[in-house]
């Protein structure tokens, strides 16, 4: 990936704040939204990825992803979406979308959570997110679970919160 991608994302978010549609971000082929969809919202997230230490089916302990907890802002820094377990995004207009991961790719930065393409699993409300059919999480920073050696029987049930940031692009069918 090139160094201009975060700048392109910021420009896209600025256009969105001015009422213009942001363009599609540059992403690997496997993470591209369907060609008949357009970006209807782009926002920057800062928050936490929450993990829980627990034993797996093999009785080995490990950090398991529990939920995200983040706020998404527009290009002016105004909070417009809350992101939480589901994964679900709730817009300030009351609309909501939950997604399911359909593609994943390692982030270009080694200390960052993967980039994702999600499909809308459910939607509610009358606002902007009620039209969303695809979601991308890209330009990730941080958010990885703690070292595996910090999760054992003595830490069973313990939660850990890892700070992260990412850009989210929300798509809907073209008109």
At 118 the pLDDT is: 98
> What pLDDT shows up at residue 175?
75
Is the CB of residue 64 less than 8 Å from the CB of residue 136?
no
Burial tier of 90 (Cβ tally within 10 Å: 0-12, 13-18, 19+): buried
Stretches where the chain sits below pLDDT 70 are 1-20
Per-residue confidence (pLDDT) for residue 13, from 0 to 100: 47
pLDDT at 93: 98
SS (H, E, C) the chain: CCCCHHHHHHHHHHHHHCCCCCCCCCCCHHHCCCCCEEEEEEEEEEEEEEEEEEECCCCCEEEEEEEEEEEEECCCCCEEEEEECCCEEEECCCCEEEEEEEEEECCCCCCECCEEEEEEEEEECCCHHHHCCEEEEEEEEECCCCCHHHCCHHHCCCEEEEEEEEEEEEEEECC
CA distance 129 to 120: 10
* Torsion from C-alpha of 46, 52, 57, 58, nearest 10 degrees: 100
Q: Taking phi first (over 0 means left), then psi (-120 to 50 degrees means alpha), and beta for anything else, what does residue 142 get?
A: left
Which of these, 109, 99, 100, lies nearest to 138 by C-alpha position?
109
At residue 8, the pLDDT reads: 42
pLDDT of the residue at 22: 81
> pLDDT tens digits for 14-25?
444 445 678 899
């Amino acid at each position: 990936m090139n160094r201009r991608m975060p700048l392109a994302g910021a420009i896209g978010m600025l256009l969105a704040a001015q009422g213009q549609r942001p363009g599609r971000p540059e992403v690997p082929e496997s993470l591209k939204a369907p060609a008949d969809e357009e970006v209807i919202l782009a926002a920057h997230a800062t928050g936490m990825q929450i993990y829980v230490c627990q034993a797996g089916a093999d009785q080995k302990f490990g950090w398991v992803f529990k939920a995200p907890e983040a706020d998404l802002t527009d290009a002016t820094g105004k909070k417009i979406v809350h992101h939480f377990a589901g994964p679900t995004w709730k817009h300030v207009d009351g609309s909501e979308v939950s997604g399911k991961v359909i593609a994943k790719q390692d982030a270009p930065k080694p200390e960052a959570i993967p980039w994702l393409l999600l499909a809308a699993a459910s939607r509610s409300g009358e606002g902007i997110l009620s039209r969303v059919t695809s979601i991308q999480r890209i330009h990730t920073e941080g958010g990885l679970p703690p070292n595996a050696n910090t999760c054992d029987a003595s830490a069973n049930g313990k939660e850990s919160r890892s700070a992260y940031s990412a850009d989210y692009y929300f798509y809907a069918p073209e008109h």
